[in-house]
Structure 1
């Protein structure tokens, strides 16, 4: 498993290297907005403290039931964020996101009017024009009702 993560480190963007070297706020806009999903994926003893926020500079598309961000100026994406303190948790998140996603740097805007610069989020690793992506919006409630149980009960 360690060899797998070492190989992944070499193929990721600079955001991954920076993200694993120190605690950072990480922005979520899909299934990981759910604290229980995050806790399951990272095998954390306690649920994360999720806060509401948004980012700009991306557009949301859908890859099946999952949202995928692609760079696009002027768009606003709402979601949640939390502090990712450990290299292991960051790597668990990378494994959950699969190779179809890659880290992007963003600025998180908080409901308290703060800006959290130099924060990672995951976006589509392929071409923004990929035929695998469709228009649409992520239905978080539908995800929680129909798809979340397979993650939190059976692992991912």
Structure 2
């Protein structure tokens, strides 16, 4: 007797046919309520760009070195015309030599540094000045006093000061502070050279320096 043959499984029923476009379920649109909430001037509102109440104001800078030369300043800022510099001075500062350059450092209250002031017009120009000065100098607020008998006679502005150790600069010693700023790292403590040893290498005895009252 032959075994009964198994019938294949019954296939699943076919899905119902798609409803015609006339039988779509209508859903409420969220676009129209949003459009009504925007008001009648929604086009102006969408394209409105807010403006700053106060635009960026020019900033005065005091220069005492190479930047005080109009041709150099014109080249650095990529100006079309020669810049207008006003003779000026700052009080309470003095200049020291840093290689072939001049460096502004703190001085006695009565000391003065003469130079020129320039009204920088844009932030881009401020960035160019900072890039030119490098990190050997730092931006510093100062009181600029004009010496050309023209108004304004005095105002607050910026200048670039020496960013390292002013004492080491004046003594002609290795400036550890400036070296670390420029290299972006700190010297190990074992590399520190005592002041007495530095003076001996310069041919100056420490007791002589102390007797001089410096």
Higher mean C-alpha displacement, 111-120 vs 63-72:
111-120
1:121 Cα shift? 0.5
Structure 1 residues 40 and 133, CA, compared in 2 at 3 Å: closer, same or farther? Answer: farther
| Inter-partner Cα distance in structure 1 for 2:116 and 2:169 | 28
Following TM superposition, where does structure 1 have runs of at least 4 consecutive aligned residues deviating by more than 4 angstroms? none
Residue by residue over 1:81-118, the C-alpha shift from the partner in whole angstroms, topping out at 9 and shown as x without a partner, is 11001111111000000100011111111121744332
Task: Determine the structure 2 residue equivalent to 1:37.
Answer: 72
Task: Determine the structure 1 residue equivalent to 2:63.
Answer: 28
Aligned residue among 117, 125, 136 for 2:163: 125
| Inter-partner Cα distance in structure 1 for 2:164 and 2:153 | 28
Aligned residue among 82, 86, 97 for 1:51: 86
| Inter-partner Cα distance in structure 2 for 1:51 and 1:116 | 12
1:133 Cα shift? 6.8
Structure 1 residues 62 and 110, CA, compared in 2 at 3 Å: closer, same or farther? Answer: same
1:124 Cα shift? 0.2
Task: Determine the structure 1 residue equivalent to 2:135.
Answer: 99
Q: Using CA pairs below 8 Å that are at least 6 residues apart, which structure has the higher relative contact order? A: 1
Structure 1 residues 133 and 44, CA, compared in 2 at 3 Å: closer, same or farther? Answer: farther
SS in 2 for 1:89: helix
| Inter-partner Cα distance in structure 2 for 1:90 and 1:133 | 32
Structure 1 regions of 5+ residues with no counterpart?
1-20, 135-156
Task: Determine the structure 2 residue equivalent to 1:86.
Answer: 122
| Inter-partner Cα distance in structure 1 for 2:125 and 2:171 | 27
Residue by residue over 1:11-52, the C-alpha shift from the partner in whole angstroms, topping out at 9 and shown as x without a partner, is xxxxxxxxxx53111100000111110011111112210111
SS in 1 for 2:113: strand
Higher strand fraction: Structure 1 or Structure 2?
1
TM-score (norm 1): 0.67
The RMSD of aligned alpha carbons is: 1.8
> Is contact 1:25-1:116 (8 Å) kept?
no
| Inter-partner Cα distance in structure 2 for 1:132 and 1:75 | 16
